[in-house]
A and B are shown apart, each in its own frame.
Chain A
Amino acid sequence: MSVLEIKDLHVSVETDQGTKQILKGVNLTINEGEIHAIMGPNGSGKSTLAYTIAGHPKYHADSGSILLDGEEVLTMTVDQRARAGLFLAMQYPVEIPGVTVTNFLRTAKTAIDGEAPAIRSWIKDVRQSMTNLRMDKSFAERNVNEGFSGGEKKRNEILQLELLKPKFAILDETDSGLDVDALKIVSEGVNRAKANTGLGILLITHYTRILRYIEPDFVHVFVNGRIAEQGGPELADRLEDEGYDRFLVDSNVG
């Protein structure tokens, strides 16, 4: 039984105006098989949390810790974290010139598993996942994210999620920019990955609409760098009706 624990995490970023504190004491525990939704207004620090877990070099953990099955994640390199079982589906996936999706997936799979996948079953798996996500075969030979539409980039993230089989996935606004059909397809992909591997999910979103397709076990309201309130799925409905106003009153955002 895997567990990802975030303990009193404080994170800052260097800006032109100096050091800016963004995360101000985040506490969160995700068990294997659980889905946690994080909802919060723009600029509250949701992506910062995601990037910090993945190890983006711009974000400095000033104090606190992130433990994966008891092991400190903060001291691991970015690639070590991925090999340890963490996965970040990015809000804005970048284009990688010169590297085809096929080549990229195979290289990543080899890196994660520590050995090259058996060629035949691998090709079959890739094809199957692409079909499930309604990605045209031609994407396999295109350079990663190059010229992909917003929705195609998001599918490509979920394709990787399905194939790399992490223990924990952080989905940073995977729903933004998707139309209803694409949202369904992508959500199915996430649910399929969870059914297959029992991974734990940290689902970051602005809107409740994705929660109709991916049902959270817990909902956390993220405001001004920390979790302001938590509850079950019903909290999402309340947010839908009331917005974040009631949380913003006391905070000094903006």
Chain B
Amino acid sequence: MSAAPTSTTAALPTSEQHGIKAHSDGRFGFVPVQTRNDRFKSVDVADFAPVTGREAVWKLSPVAKFTDLTAGELDGAAYDVDSTPTDGVAIDWVGRDDARIGSVGAPEEQAAANAWTSFEKALAITVTGEEDKEITITRARLGTGPRGAHTIIEARPFSRATIILENTGDARLTENLEIIVGESAHLTVVTLQEWNTGAVQLANHFASVGRDAYLKHVVVSLGGSIVRVNPSVRLAGPGSDTDLYGLYFADAGQHLEQQVYVHHDAANSRSRVTYKGALQGAGARTVWIGDVLIGRNAPGTDSYEQNRNLVLTEGTRADSIPNLEIETGDIKGAGHASATGRFDDEQLFYLQSRGITEDEARRLVVRGFLSEIVQHIGSQPLEDRLQAAIEAELRSTDEVRAPATTKEN
């Protein structure tokens, strides 16, 4: 294998997995950070020093390309949202004084704080009723001006729903999404990024999962120039449970990033984090940082996080950084894994030598790799759509690769 410009932070079994680990890389707001949960937080953009790109949350992001979103003036007005009316799902624009705002999380960096400071109305999606329902909420006309937004998704106790947030068209967007999963509620949130080529999105999701409640959270990032979706989930109630999935496919020049944080903050909570990404084309870049904190008051925790990347061509870079902090000895299980593998000419030869054509071989590998995530989404129409979207990405790989690449081993 030739020297690949692919960097990976592989998860080796280190002492970090087994004990309390002090972060050495947090230098936020001049406060020395002890654990992931002690990061400086503020809803006011003025509380944050200008972004330098050396901060823990920014050090792998192309910060120079979105200074308008971190420090510039944002349009915080309501925007067009498309959806089909669905029983048990209310969609409203609410004022900044809505009690749910700020009830789940607060920004840990300047772009998120800028959005928080700037939004005029928040989009509130409220789920009631115990029967299952699915709704797709589409943003397609955000335009190219810098924008700040705030969204609330509240699943009332015992309610059930699948909310698909579909993002297309242009965007220069920084936003916060608060997800409240009430006691015994069962909520799936899928956020689908199929932006136009030049779009930039910096999103922070903050979720709180109540007693015996369940949150499935799925991030699918395919289109856009810079797409950064950072979900934080606090397992706040005893018996709370979450599955966090991610699927991303970075093409030439694309930066796709996700910083995932799970905070076990109650007894007998369970979390699984599974993110998978494919990279193709010069300058395709992905970042995955997965932090799990098992707090002092979370005995009986069961947690596992993993990230896998598949590199299809030369000239890409995948960063993959799992972190696990454990503050209690009384847990059921905790672990992490991270791996970045390549699809190379020898693999192609092997598959072809069994009669499989080159295109089919490539599709087979990527489809197989990503379908683990697709299969867990739980909405057949959406799964079919995503498979089709992956096929479309693969067709563009074939274009990237033509004429047939040569590689020396």
Binds B, one of A61-69, A91-99, A182-190: A91-99
Nearest CB of B to A51, in Å: 9
Q: Mark A166-207, 1 if CB is under 8 A from B, else 0.
A: 000000000000000000000000000000000000000000
Bound-complex Cα distance A245 to B370 (A): 53
Indicate which residue in A77, A83, A100 contacts B368 across the interface (CB closer than 8 Å). A100
Indicate which residue in A55, A98, A99, A103 contacts B353 across the interface (CB closer than 8 Å). A55
Q: Is A78 within 8 A of B341, CB to CB? A: no
Q: Mark B343-356, 1 if CB is under 8 A from A, else 0.
A: 10111011111111
Nearest CB of B to A203, in Å: 18
Q: Does A221 contact B (CB under 8 A)?
A: no
Q: Does A160 contact B (CB under 8 A)?
A: yes
Q: Is A160 within 8 A of B368, CB to CB? A: no
Bound-complex Cα distance A81 to B354 (A): 9
With A79-B356, A111-B356 known to touch, is A97 a contact of B365 (CB < 8 Å)?
yes
Q: Does A11 contact B (CB under 8 A)?
A: no
Chain A residues 72-97 with CB under 8 Å of chain B are 77-79, 81-83, 87-88, 90, 93-97
Residues of A with C-beta under 8 A to B304: none
Nearest CB of B to A129, in Å: 15
* Count of A interface residues, CB-CB < 8 Å: 30
With A79-B355, A79-B356, A164-B355 known to touch, is A97 a contact of B350 (CB < 8 Å)?
no
Q: Is B310 within 8 A of A107, CB to CB? A: no
Q: Does B87 contact A (CB under 8 A)?
A: no
Indicate which residue in A79, A96, A111, A112 contacts B365 across the interface (CB closer than 8 Å). A96
Q: Does B366 contact A (CB under 8 A)?
A: yes
**Which residue of chain B has its CB nearest to the CB of A145?**
B350
Nearest CB of A to B306, in Å: 14
Q: Is A57 within 8 A of B356, CB to CB? A: no
With A103-B364, A104-B364 known to touch, is A98 a contact of B352 (CB < 8 Å)?
no
Q: Is B368 within 8 A of A78, CB to CB? A: no
Residues of B with C-beta under 8 A to A98: 310, 365-366, 368-370
Nearest CB of A to B176, in Å: 34
With A93-B350, A94-B346 known to touch, is A99 a contact of B356 (CB < 8 Å)?
no
Q: Is A78 within 8 A of B352, CB to CB? A: yes
Q: Is A97 within 8 A of B341, CB to CB? A: yes
Q: Does B357 contact A (CB under 8 A)?
A: yes
Q: Is A54 within 8 A of B353, CB to CB? A: yes
Residues of A with C-beta under 8 A to B352: 55, 77-79, 82
**Which residue of chain B has its CB nearest to the CB of A79?**
B352
Bound-complex Cα distance A143 to B365 (A): 10
Residues of B with C-beta under 8 A to A90: 350, 353
Q: Taking beta carbons and an 8 Å cutoff, which residues of B are in contact with A?
A: 310, 341, 343, 345-347, 349-358, 360, 364-366, 368-370, 406
Q: A55-B352, A111-B357 are in contact. List 15 more A-B contacts (CB 8 A).
A: A57-B349, A79-B353, A79-B354, A79-B355, A79-B358, A82-B355, A94-B347, A94-B350, A97-B310, A97-B369, A98-B365, A100-B368, A108-B351, A108-B354, A108-B356
Could you write out 19 A-B pairs with CB less than 8 Å apart?
Answer: A77-B352, A79-B353, A79-B354, A79-B358, A81-B353, A82-B354, A82-B355, A82-B356, A94-B346, A94-B349, A95-B347, A97-B369, A98-B366, A98-B368, A98-B369, A99-B369, A107-B364, A111-B355, A143-B368
